[in-house]
Amino acid sequence: MADSRFFSRKGPFSVAQIAELTGADVVNAPDRDRVFDDVSPLQNADSTILSFFDNRKYIDAFINSKAGACFVRPEFADRAPKDMVLFTTNDPYRAYAKAATAFYPFETGNGSISEFAVVDPSAKLGKGVQVDAGAVIGANCEIGDGTIIEANAVIGKGVVIGAGCRIGANASISHSLIGNLCLIYPGARIGQDGFGFAMGPQGHVKVPQLGRVVIGNDVEVGSNSTIDRGAGPDTVIGNGCRIDNLVQIGHNVEMGMGCVIVSQVGISGSTKLGNFVVLAGQAGITGHLEIGDGAKVAAQSGVMKNIGPGETVGGSPAVPVMEYHKQTVALSRLIRKKK
């Protein structure tokens, strides 16, 4: 059960309600009005709990679970404990996400502006906007309905933030236009000028960075990640992108829809990603590249060439992933011979 110091729960929800919320099929539920009080992982669940089984690695936990109900793929339904109510679906984790959000809805702004916040009189705040203590909002900012600006966040002059967003504690945003329903985590840095200068032995001369950061709707930017504004063009993050913690995104980078950028990835300036690109943890992408739709980059890879749509690469320098695996095998054979 989630710690009530930190979480407040809605519900309970009935079998029928859960089915409707998630679109899952109900199996083994004699009573459609039976309610569940909470969600939790399989291991800790009891008969009042709704859980999910998605990663086969945890099949034993599923078989032995005391959970009252579970989201599960249809093909595993016959492995379930006898009395478990089953919600079958091809994407149990997605169904669980929706149900869990019903029990623990995301907060939206409560309309309070802390007396310890500093909001420029020219800023336009929508309905329900919440500004916590120590937050600073600059001249001519526009903040959409229901957005929360957490404590000690700093929003620079002219920044536009859509509705239903949450800007985390101690984050700072400047020179940016941000869509609706975005989550900017604590300590994220968005819109500062990029690493642009003319190098030379007589000193490096800074180049004014005259673009912005433009972020779509439903985007997450993780804790302490950094997104530099464009040098002339904008830095662009498409709708639905998920950016994890400690990620670096250079100036002029463009990212399509639904990209997933895992922790500690670095994307150098002017590189363009298509839609639904996945970059695994600690990967690095050189500047001025094009990464096609649906491309995948393995963890710690170093990408130095364009990647076509749908391709998967690995290694540093990165090569097609099958080649990368063969290299790994060849290398391990090589030393076996030398023994």
From residue 322, give the alpha-carbon distance in Å to each of 250, 284, 305: 29, 19, 17
Radius of gyration of the chain (CA): 24
**Taking the complex as a whole, how short is the minimal distance between the CB of residue 336 and a second copy, in angstroms?**
9
Residue 203 binds to a second copy (criterion: CB under 8 A): yes
d(CA 322, CA 44) in angstroms, rounded, equals 40
Residue placing its CB nearer to a second copy in the complex, 129 or 154: 154
Residues in contact with a second copy, total (CB under 8 A)? Answer: 113
Among 172, 180, 235, 271, binds a second copy (CB under 8 A): 172
Residue 284 binds to a second copy (criterion: CB under 8 A): yes
Name the nearest CA neighbour of 226 among 176, 180, 181: 176
Residue 121 binds to a second copy (criterion: CB under 8 A): no
The whole-angstrom distance between residue 291's C-alpha and the CA centroid of its chain comes to 20
Backbone phi, psi, residue 323, to 5°: -60, -40
Residue 254 binds to a second copy (criterion: CB under 8 A): no
Q: List active site positions.
A: 251
Scan residues 77-116 and list those touching a second copy (CB under 8 A): 91, 93-94, 96-98, 100-101, 103-104, 106, 114, 116
State how beta strands 226-227 and 205-206 pair: unpaired
Sign of the C-alpha dihedral computed for residues 205, 207, 208 and 214 taken in this order = negative
**Taking the complex as a whole, how short is the minimal distance between the CB of residue 48 and a second copy, in angstroms?**
15
Q: Which stretch binds a second copy (CB under 8 A): 12-20, 28-36, 80-88, 153-161?
A: 153-161
Q: Which stretch binds a second copy (CB under 8 A): 24-32, 74-82, 123-131, 319-327?
A: 319-327
**Taking the complex as a whole, how short is the minimal distance between the CB of residue 326 and a second copy, in angstroms?**
4
d(CA 307, CA 1) in angstroms, rounded, equals 45
Residue 197 binds to a second copy (criterion: CB under 8 A): yes
Among 81, 126, 128, 281, binds a second copy (CB under 8 A): 281
SS3 60: helix
Question: Which DSSP category does 126 fall into?
Answer: -
SS3 295: coil
Residue 319 binds to a second copy (criterion: CB under 8 A): yes
**Taking the complex as a whole, how short is the minimal distance between the CB of residue 16 and a second copy, in angstroms?**
21
Q: Which stretch binds a second copy (CB under 8 A): 25-33, 80-88, 122-130, 225-233?
A: 225-233
SS3 57: helix
Residue 330 binds to a second copy (criterion: CB under 8 A): yes
Tokens of 78: 């016959």
Q: Which stretch binds a second copy (CB under 8 A): 11-19, 26-34, 193-201, 305-313?
A: 193-201
Q: Which stretch binds a second copy (CB under 8 A): 10-18, 26-34, 59-67, 246-254?
A: 246-254
Cβ atoms of 291 and 277 closer than 8 Å: yes
Residue placing its CB nearer to a second copy in the complex, 28 or 111: 111
From residue 221, give the alpha-carbon distance in Å to each of 152, 229, 250: 17, 14, 14
Cis amide leading into 201 (omega within 30): no
Residue 30 binds to a second copy (criterion: CB under 8 A): no
Residue 274 binds to a second copy (criterion: CB under 8 A): no
Scan residues 43-82 and list those touching a second copy (CB under 8 A): 43-44, 55, 57
The whole-angstrom distance between residue 131's C-alpha and the CA centroid of its chain comes to 23
